[in-house]
Structure 1
């Protein structure tokens, strides 16, 4: 699930997953971080989910996926749009 917060010419996008599915560490990787795992690792939050927030330019489009432990790649089903194997995000 994605949460968006507009900020002038930027948008804060928070990537949110359940606390335990999939198990282990999960990173969001995409064109906004040169597809580098570990830069945006989801952390536990008070509501029992885990999340990470990334600041992106407003009115932009990005490709991303999640990478979990064990080299398990997966998409965000809540986004609804894909580009090849990747999820698509519009800010």
Structure 2
């Protein structure tokens, strides 16, 4: 579950990212220099990575810790598998 603080941080970053994407759209529409556009895209990817980090951290702090503390092997295994899947996607 996402707490209010995490939600606010993620939403603020996503709003900034939305503005960056709109800026890139304008740059493409105005035939701006390709390298400048690529640099902006790189900045957007970095910003998305920060949102991912915020949400993953919250997931670990809440859902994963809760599952580990529950004492139920099934809950622990499910969370471990979820994390492995998330980390596998990072590597792609």
**TM-score normalised by structure 2 residue count:** 0.19
Greater Rg over alpha carbons, structure: 2
Larger strand fraction of residues: 1
